[in-house]
Chain A
């Protein structure tokens, strides 16, 4: 399964709303789609799983939506610490395997 994220780079200001897209080339079983945040020099952090469920400790300004092949990560009001690279990941394929999207860089405008 190939995941395509868009846009490649998103330039926004703190306080604005961010909408990131992830599209799969085939429908994801059970909407098994996750989102991660990676800051420079750090490991990724799990934000969302099963397309819309927030991981433990994730602020509620992060939300996920979508089903089938089209998924969205929304950050309602950007905080300075939210500027990072975001990856989507699928985990429902058969035989079992994991693929990541190529990432969306969220930068300060």
Chain B
């Protein structure tokens, strides 16, 4: 059974930093790209970032480029999202998602339960 377990969310002031983690199990982690998708409370979905299976290629939505960094540790089956220079508009539930592809962002066939990030003074 595929499981994705996010952690690291919380309350942070504007300009602050947070690091999200997602521990994966139930599939060959090193064979699939991984992604972070966020959802503003009561609103829709926004793809944030993806990383290829090998970790050699990353993709970001323009709104977070230069502020967020995705990384992964294939030896620990974990993907991370380092979020710096956080803004109020980054407040959302952040989902970790398994991509169905190996390299470029594709479809997300498994999702975690999400972790809440609140940016507020």
By a beta-carbon cutoff of 8 Å, the part of chain A in contact with chain B is 32, 34, 36, 38, 43-46, 49, 55-56, 87, 89, 91, 95-103
Chain B neighbourhood of A44, CB < 8 A: 45, 95, 108, 111
List 21 A–B pairs whose Cβ atoms lie within 8 Å, in order of A's numbering. Answer: A36-B45, A36-B108, A43-B112, A46-B107, A49-B100, A49-B107, A56-B109, A91-B105, A91-B106, A96-B50, A96-B59, A96-B104, A96-B105, A97-B61, A97-B105, A98-B37, A100-B44, A100-B46, A100-B47, A101-B44, A102-B44
Cβ-defined contact, A89 with B104, below 8 A: no
Cα(A62)–Cα(B60), bound, Å: 31
By a beta-carbon cutoff of 8 Å, the part of chain B in contact with chain A is 35, 37, 44-47, 50, 59, 61, 95, 100, 104-109, 111-114
Tell me how far the C-beta of A68 lies from the nearest C-beta in chain B, rounded to whole angstroms. Answer: 19
Chain B neighbourhood of A34, CB < 8 A: 107
Cβ-defined contact, A87 with B107, below 8 A: no
Known: A34-B107, A98-B105. 17 other contacts (CB 8 A): A36-B45, A38-B45, A43-B114, A44-B95, A46-B107, A49-B107, A55-B109, A89-B107, A95-B59, A96-B59, A98-B37, A98-B61, A100-B44, A100-B45, A101-B44, A102-B44, A103-B45
Cα(A101)–Cα(B91), bound, Å: 19
